[in-house]
Amino acid sequence: MRLAPAATILLLLGGAIGHVPVAVVLGLVVGVVEIGQVVWRRRGLGRVDYVRHLDTDRVAWGDEVGLTIEVWNRTGLPLPWLRADDEPAHGISVRDLPLVEVERTNVLRNVWSLAPSERVFRHLRLVTDRRGVFTIGPVRLAGGDLFARPATEDEREEIDRFIVRPRVVAAPELARPDRWGEVDRARSGLSEDPSRFAGIRPWVPGDSIRRIHPRASARLRQPMSKRFEPSRERDVLIALDVQTSETSAWASALDSEDVETLYVVAASLAASLERTGAAFGIVAAGFALSTRRLAQVPISDAPGQAGRVLDLLARLSTVPSASYERLLATVHRTIRPGTVVLALTCREPGPFLASLRRLERAGAHVVVLASGQGAVANARRARAAGFSARTAVLDGPWPSAGRLLVA
């Protein structure tokens, strides 16, 4: 038997037998308090709704994420206090509300006092210090009885996620060479794509008879030729080298700042390519919250392609999942001839020059984009080996840089 019920019974019996009214009253008070706690414990938090609402599921680095917490006491009992401890992922902080350390874990703590059937909302602003996929949850709820004593607890596994994309800075347009055999092609006008019909024009001597549009010619009573849009420029694939050290991909002690700088460069290039209407994609040997060893976004010129690339970069780890040589071997087997491969790296290119040569022999146009502190020297080595090479460096540390400089 619990102490409080036993004390209640003893006080009531002792007061009744000994004719002590104070003991009887005290026993009644203890009994009411115990009954109240039992009622609050049994009703529990089962009919208390706790819901989080994120303003968006993806933001750019440096932006805030709005979080609205909705609590609804659907019971007929008041809750003198209700405490909610949410577990935010490492790197999340709350604007104007410090996190509380509980059992060596920082939690987002909120406390309310709720009347029966009361529904409340609390609006918060979440900020992060890095890119990535962030979670908030699970939540541990605790409530008090009518006398504000702890009465019930509940842990709920609901987890909300949002993506923080890497930072994007202003980047120049990359001139993407377009060739037909060994001859440079004009960027517009001279080479037409027969699958992209653009209208009709009067027939002129020299037009092929196959270009004549029969129905339009009959309707207008003069020969009319079909007109087509210029051929699209080459596809572009960003081959991102996650490894930043000259040691093996598995044993290297990675500098996360160098990796983050590389991801900002890749994100800025993707945004620049989308502005120019290019078909582009990205591939990297990194872990991206999946079981696949290689992370990639296939080449496409569909709207929102830059957003898909940024989402991949947000999920991508700073630890390589395979060597860059293996990544380039996979690219060699999958890309179409004529694709421009931007080999974005901050390492000395010597270890993977043979892989780049195989790509060029397969018909790809390889451009080495050297980044990081040794960008100039690494680009010079790539040119000495016979490759097109450029430097792609930020004009400052990645959190504060304003432009991507490509030379």
Paired tokens of 378: 């690494």
Taking the CA atoms of 63, 316, 177 and 274 in sequence, report the sign of the dihedral they define: negative
Work out the average pLDDT over 23-34.
58
The reported pTM is 0.75
What is the per-residue pLDDT for 307? 93
Asked if the model's pLDDT at residue 20 lies above 80, the reply is: no
Work out the average pLDDT over 35-55.
74
Asked if the model's pLDDT at residue 372 lies above 90, the reply is: no
Share of the chain above pLDDT 70, in %: 79
Asked if the model's pLDDT at residue 188 lies above 50, the reply is: no
What is the per-residue pLDDT for 161? 93
pLDDT in tens, 285-303: 888 877 777 888 998 888 8
Confidence of residue 42 (pLDDT cuts 50, 70, 90): low
| 40-44, 221-225, 373-377: the lowest-pLDDT one | 40-44
pLDDT in tens, 302-322: 889 999 999 999 998 888 888
Taking the CA atoms of 256, 262, 263 and 268 in sequence, report the sign of the dihedral they define: positive
What is the per-residue pLDDT for 139? 92
Q: Which residue has the higher pLDDT, 141 or 253?
A: 141
| 116-120, 177-181, 376-380: the lowest-pLDDT one | 177-181
Asked if the model's pLDDT at residue 212 lies above 80, the reply is: yes
What is the per-residue pLDDT for 1? 42
Asked if the model's pLDDT at residue 106 lies above 70, the reply is: yes
What is the per-residue pLDDT for 180? 41
Q: Cα(168)–Cα(35) distance, rounded to whole angstroms? A: 61
Asked if the model's pLDDT at residue 407 lies above 90, the reply is: no
What is the per-residue pLDDT for 24? 54
Asked if the model's pLDDT at residue 373 lies above 70, the reply is: yes
| 157-161, 241-245, 342-346, 353-357: the lowest-pLDDT one | 241-245
Asked if the model's pLDDT at residue 65 lies above 90, the reply is: yes
What is the per-residue pLDDT for 332? 85
Asked if the model's pLDDT at residue 341 lies above 80, the reply is: yes
What is the per-residue pLDDT for 165? 93
Domain annotation for the chain: domains and CATH numbers: 3-43 (no CATH), 48-165 (2.60.40.10), 192-230 (no CATH), 236-406 (3.40.50.410)
Quote the Cα angle for 63-68-72, to 5°: 170
DSSP string for 2-71: -HHHHHHHHHHHHHHHTT-HHHHHHHHHHHHHHHHHHHHHHHTTTTEEEEEEES-SEEETT--EEEEEEE
Work out the average pLDDT over 74-94.
87
DSSP string for 204-215: -TT--GGGB-HH
Mean pLDDT of the chain: 81
Asked if the model's pLDDT at residue 182 lies above 90, the reply is: no
Work out the average pLDDT over 165-179.
75
Q: Cα(216)–Cα(203) distance, rounded to whole angstroms? A: 11
